[in-house]
Structure 1
């Protein structure tokens, strides 16, 4: 028996305060979703995007997944994604596995992420996963410091926390209009 598609939420569901569990298991039910932001919605250590899922998704944001250590993207998942933002996932150990399959990805941005993670994608001998992100045109690491955004390029990741700010590519105002 097929369920009836939800076209609008009942008034009781609009206030999500009482929502205890939400599962997005079959993304075929979200065929036109183009922008998804997930904030503190998952407590596991591995997040997987399965092949065939999120076929029209263009922007994905992952924010404050405290226990998340790995993200896996199967070949064929999110084929149209253009921007991926990962924020405040302090336990993340590696760049998403399978990110190299995202052929349309143009912007990869890390907000307030551990320097240890960023070292894995440095364009030097320490960057074991640099090959995964090398073809992405814009890879940035961004931190909020002293009342403004400091943006670092992929090349400056290996230079340490005091690397030169990349304000010629993007400034605070542009950053806010891109993601927020």
Structure 2
């Protein structure tokens, strides 16, 4: 009889152990699903990431990111966001950068360089063509459509003329004005 009770008791313990293991596994799966949902939602709220291009897998709090993003910065951002989620134990960032996106970025960068060079040439030409602007005294540089001016001019009205010529040049987004006006020497009697 004692053997029968021991067998029933052992069966109950094994069932309880199985249930506890199943509950732990269920809680772990729920926790992993919750972490994945938090990460994917955060990606969706980011204006810099495409959540449909990033696959998120979570197992026991360890996150693996796969897929293709547009830049190294986007890859780093995705990894850092995942690391910042409470409950994430580690992140394995296996995101690849799209070769097409890299070429596009390089082409866009080159086009900005060409556009800036064209703006600088147009501004410098306009300044040289105007005899009152003394274009040889002015250094012109352009970056992202912003024209940087340096030089010393003889009067404030000449500086205003230079600024207006630059503003009227097609493609100029803004002016960074570092022009100076020479102080007039008092007339000697």
TM-score, normalising length: structure 1: 0.19
Larger helix share, 1 or 2: 2
* Structure number with bigger Rg: 2
TM-score, normalising length: structure 2: 0.19
